[in-house]
Structure formats: structure tokens, C-alpha cells
Amino acid sequence: MPTGELARGTVFDGRYEILEELGGGGMGRVFRVHDRKLEEEVALKLIRPEIAAERKAIERFKNELKIARKIAHKNACKMYDLGESGGASYITMEYVPGEDLRSFIHRSKQLTVATAVSIARQVAEGLSEAHSLGIIHRDLKPGNIMIDKEGNAKIMDFGIARSLLGKGLTGEGAIIGTPEYMSPEQVEGKEADQRVDIYALGVILFEMLVGSPPFEGETPFAIANKHKTEPPPVPKKLLPQLPEALNKIILRCLEKDQADRYQTADDLVAELTAFEQTLPSTDRALTRAKTKIRTSREITVKLTPKKLLIPAGIVLFLAIAILAALALFKPAGRKIDSIAVLPLADLSVKKGEGYSVDGIHDALINELCKIPAVTVIARQSVLRYSESKKDIPEIARELKVAGIVEGSVVQAKDTVRITVSLLNGPDGKRLWGPSSFDRNPTDVLTLYSEVALKIAREIDAKLAVLNINNLTQERRVKPEAYNLYYQAMYGRWQNPLSVEQGFKKKLELLEQTVEIDPDFALAHALTAMVLQDLALFGFYAPKSEAFQKARQAAQKAVMLDESLAEAHEALGSVKFNLDWDFDGFLREYRKAMELAPGRTVGSWATNLTVLGHFDEALALLKRMSESNPLYPAVPTWHLLMARRYDEAIASAKKSFEANPEDWYARMYLSNGYAFKKMCAEALAESQKILSGMPGFESDANALYQIAFNFAHCGNRTKAEELYDAYNKTGVADADPTALAWNYAPLGEKDLALDALEKGLEIRSPYLVYLKVDPMLDSLRDDPRFKALLKKVGFEK
């Protein structure tokens, strides 16, 4: 349908019934329409064909709209969607009954001081909300400000001006905006920040009071040039009765140099609010909506001695009723026991510089893990929503959370700003925010803690003194060191590298990190973990040197920051894997859990299991699944080690049903059957794996686990065949301890114990499984085995 035919009653795009045309502008024509899908009135702006034809501009606006839709403020018009029908592009937004400020000024000629200041303050409050999200209007003018029937101001068209900045519409160093309201830096085509909106609002305030903007001319160029070169007229000279304080506010907004203006909309709001307080109360009453509770008539009660003798029971009943009513209508707190932090938007002017936004997102999640009794969804599960178009309630249902945190990051040379909002998961309604937090780049670790503490208080989390101290502790880091740490942490470079090369690259990055910032505790903690991995995988020789360096790095991390959960995690890992100090591991693990109750690490569950703390390990796995619902932890192996075979079989079946290609699940299922002496089932499942399940042949350890099933069920020939295949992989050459898992099921006790004792000489990592692995049960009564348990540290 040609857009020129949009008469009243026409249904556009099968959804929008045209009610009336409201007007037009630089972008196109605007209509009041009835949205038949939402059953409400909205405004629909048809974009001019020459603009709609510039596809890059439309794509840019789609991206801007994603952010602009996050503005939720009474003084900002809500943006809804960008659509296309019959070749015509259009925008839908909130319909605001009333008139635009341009018409209001034209009709009134000149506004009173109280009315002008009230409108300016409301606009500044709306700008503050947008700026906190990193959104700059860039084309603020009276035509983009609606005044509703109650006198409330609403800013329109956020995100449009910036979208038009592109090839085909404007060029390099383009001027964008309306000449009468453009700041000097916009005239020069320079990069715009939030102060261009403050300048434009100063022009608008001038116009509301004087009746015309400060600069006028014959051509747009002449007007724009005056903004750049001429000082603005002094409002008080044109309006002698204007209060001097307001005169100064306007002139400060109109400073040519950005540094001399108000630096934030919040600063301007504070000045305008303070000025409003100096106005006579009668003037203020005209510009501020007030809620007044009125009774239908005045009620007078004359008390007499007789009336005072009301039975005490009635008085008590009334008192209880009043208290119950107060309790009933008391605003509900924001008690939220689970939250997800969606990926943060990078709204920085120069993206890719400063801190990694992914790193900031990860760090914020880690800080929130310090809040007790709150499940924080792991980053792995929320990453899939970085480009998702799903709404908040749908995301909340999938992640099984009560609250959603969303936000953005803006980085400049001397500032990192994080802006976050808290949304109610079930309905997506905003509970708090958006609220912004600024810090110098060196204080970014403290910034994360500040945001986490604020969220903790908003969700009514019960914080112990330890948690509060942890979240309020000042931590500093050099930006270049933090970025190197993040690279080492997530290793985006590692895909083309071997496992050994990957670990060594991590270590190289961490060595650079601590060289730049020797007091960066997180880097020392991660260094300890990487050195352990290098030693345990046999990639660092001599192994004893790696152990010693790992121990020193972990101790250094704890010394630098005793309240850092990661430091205690690293030290606990050293004590477990390198020192076989299992009591020491438990102390450090529990300290880490105390400092960051929501933090979960997969290796902790394994460590707890091999120590025989089965219930604690399974509870941890349950918490891990709750915090990572899209990638839940599987407890099958832990249940096998706990000899809870029926539960292990059920768990393996559940995993296998979810993913029929998961040969690990089938292998554990076959092991569960074997341990229960359900040999027909065990060998049937084993044969299915051997028949060619994808991936099985790439895991050498799987061979001995399948071989165990045949040995345990009496098929020695097949078991020996599989053990031979296992030995040819070279695993036993690197660590002779592995042979014990071959010999024990075949009844070769002495050979199995010889292999374990050789493992003791090289401090084999396999020995930590001695206490619980059912595959070694045939050795448990042997004195040599009991002696080994003591030497490894399992028995005193």
C-alpha cells in the first residue's frame, strides 16, 4: 500500500489502524495508530524513502534501538520497534497525548520562569537516565520534547540522530543535528559526548524564557557558525527580571568549551532543583504534580465519657486489624534468591580499547558470587543471550532465575563506567536502576565490588560482616596487567595450539602480568594453577621446580589478598595435588567458600569425592547445576565412586537419553552394571561402545574402563586384549601407576601394587584415587596397599 494513502481507518502492515496524522519532520510523517496486537495506541513514524533507502542507516538504527529501548524513565518516550512493510520503513514508539514543546512555546510566546525551569529539569532527568546507559540524543530540540496533558515533559527520538551519521547521508566529520540547537563541537564535526545534549538544553531553556533561540540567521550554515564563533546573548539583558542564578545556569550550559559546561545531566538537575527551591511555593505548586489524599467529607467525632467506655476487646480487635492492614499494604521487599547477569553492552566511543568488556562481565559475576544464599548463573550459561532477541521473562524461565541484571560499559581514558539495572525475571519489570558506577581504570576491581554490593542490597541479601568487608575492600590493578590476566584466563588464542603450548602461553602472559603489576593477587593465584597443570600433565621439567613455583605463587596471592577466594582456591589446589595435604586442602576450600559462597569449581567436587566426602561433593554438583542450568554438572562418576550404583545407573541413563552421542554416559552406565555384577547388561553396553561410538577411540583411559567390565565379568581374554591396546597408547610409559588399573581387575595383586609403589616414587597424580576407586577393591586388604594409603596421606 503506498504510504501516501494512509487515511484514517487504514490498517498498515496488517496491525496498525491509522487514527490520525500528527505531523511530519526531517525523518518523515508521524501517525497516531491503534496497535491491534497490543490493543493500545502508539505513535508510528514513517521514515522518508530517501532515508529508508540508505540500508546502513537503517541497520545502525536497529542497533541503536536495542539500547534506546532500555531507557525506562517518566521523562523519556519509550521506543518500541523498527519495522518494514511494502518497502516502507517505520518506527513505533509510545504515544504521548499533548503537544510538542515547539508548539507550546509558539502558543505561549514566553513561558514563566517556574514552568520553563520545571520542563528543563524534567528533560535533564530524562537525559541523565539515557546518559547513564551511554545514549546521547545529539538532536535535542523543542520539536523532540512532548508536553503531556499533565505538564510532564518527555524526550522523543533517542537513537535516531546517531543512526543517520553514515555514508550517503553525511560524510566524514559530518555535521548532525538542528542548527539552532547544535553545540560548537557538533558544528565542527567532532566526536560528541553527553555535553552536546546539555548545550542543546541550555538553548531550549533560553528559548522558553526569551521566546526565541540565542542564535538566528538567514541560512542553517550562518546559524551553526554563530554557535561556533559568537558568544551567546546574555539572557538577563533581554529579560531584566530573570533571576541571576538562572541566568548563570543558562550561560554555563552554553559555554563553547565542553570542559566549562555542566559535565553531567545530574549536575544540571541538581542546579535546577536547587533553583526551583528558591521560587515562591505557589509558583512551584503550578509546576509539580502533587498527590493529595482527600476525604469525601469532614468527619467530626465528639467524645463523651460514655463513648470512651468502648469494650477493650473491640479496641484490641481494631488495633490488630489496623496492624494487619499495615502489614498487608507494606511494600514487598526485593527478596531474590537467584540472578543472571546478561552480557554487557559496550557503549564506549572507542571499542576494543581499555578493559575487555567480556572480562568486566566475568569479573562482575565473580563478585556477585560473594553474596550468600543467592544463586548466580555462570557466564557459560548466559553467553548465549549476547545476541538473543528473547524477552526477559523467557530468559528468566530458561535460566530458572528470579532476577535479571542487564547493563552496559562505557570506557574513556580516565574512567570506566558500569551501568546496571535489576529486572524482575517473571514479568521483566524494572525493580531498580539503571544506576551508574564510575571509577578510574586502576580501581576497576573495586568498581566491580561496588556494583555487586549495591545489587546485594537491592535484592535484600543477608550479608555477613565477612562478605561486606570483602565487597568493600579497595583493590587496585594496572589496566594493562588486568587485560593480560584476562587473556591468560580465557585463552582465546589457544585454539590452534596444542594443550602443552596453550598452558605455556598462559604462563608467559601471566609472567608479563606480574612483571607489570607485582601486587596483582589474582594473577599470582592463576599462575599457581597453571604451573600445577603443567606439572601434572608432564609439560614442565623438572616437576619439583614447577611444584615449588606453584606453591610460592599461591602463598603470594594469599599474602597479597587474604580475602580473595581465588587465592585460597589456588593454595588449596597446591595442598591437594602437590603436597597431598588433604586437611590443608579442606581448610582452604572452606575458606574460599566462605569468602565467595556462590563460587563453584568442578575440581572441588572431584577432590571432595576422592577424599570420601561424597555428600558434600554431590551437594556442590547440585549447586553447580543450578548456577549453570544450560550445562548442568553430571554426578555419575561421583556416584560410582560413592558405590551408589543404582543412582549412578539412573544418572548415566538420563545423560545418555539427553545426548545419545555421549559415549562417556554409556561407559559409566556399563561400569555401573559391572560393579553390580549385572554382567549381561555391562558387556552389552561395552560392546556398543567398542562397535564405534564417535570419540571413544580418542580417549585412552576409556579402554581400561571398558577392559575392567570384561575382567570383572570373567572374560579375561577380551580384557587382556583391551589392556594391551591401552598400554600401546603410551599412558603407562609416562606414568607406570596406570598399570595398576590393568592388573588389579585381573587378580594380579603383586603387579598392581608394584605399579602403585613405582607411582609413589614419582608422586603420580593417579594416587589420589586410591581411597575410593572401586576398580582397586581387590587390593584393599593387602598390607602393602594400606601402607600406600598412609604414605599418600589418606590415613594417619
Catalytic residues: 139
Residues 6+ apart with CB under 8 A from 236: 242, 244, 247
The CB-side HSE value for 702 (13 A sphere, CA atoms) comes to 21
The answer to whether the CB of 633 falls within 8 A of the CB of 609 is no
Query: What SS3 class is residue 383?
Result: helix
Q: Distances from the Cα of 40 to the Cαs of 33, 94, 201, 429, 556, in angstroms?
A: 8, 10, 31, 19, 62
The answer to whether the CB of 407 falls within 8 A of the CB of 420 is yes
205 Rama sector, left if φ>0, alpha if ψ -120 to 50, beta otherwise: alpha
Query: Which letter does DSSP use for residue 76 in this model?
Result: B
Burial class (CB in 10 A: 0-12, 13-18, 19+), 305: exposed
- Alpha-helix runs per DSSP H in 596-691: 602-610, 614-627, 636-641, 645-658, 663-675, 679-690
- For residue 637, give the C-alpha cell: 562418576
- For residue 714, give the C-alpha cell: 570373567
The answer to whether the CB of 643 falls within 8 A of the CB of 393 is no
Dihedral of alpha carbons 692, 693, 699, 701, sign: negative
Cα separation, 774 vs 624, whole angstroms: 25
Identify the residue whose cell numbers are 581387575.
745
Q: Distances from the Cα of 637 to the Cαs of 371, 405, 664, 673, in angstroms?
A: 30, 35, 10, 13
Cα separation, 361 vs 341, whole angstroms: 8
Q: For residue 527, give the nearest of 542, 511, 505 by alpha carbon.
A: 511
Cα separation, 611 vs 633, whole angstroms: 19
Residues 571-608, buried b or exposed e (16+ Cβ, 10 A)?
bbbbbbbbebebebbbebbebbbbbbbbbbbeebbbbb
Amino acid type, 404: I
Bridge pairing between strands 403-411 and 338-341:
parallel
Q: For residue 592, give the nearest of 620, 633, 626 by alpha carbon.
A: 620
Identify the residue whose cell numbers are 520545571.
118
Query: Which letter does DSSP use for residue 415 in this model?
Result: -
The answer to whether the CB of 715 falls within 8 A of the CB of 683 is yes
- For residue 453, give the C-alpha cell: 554490593
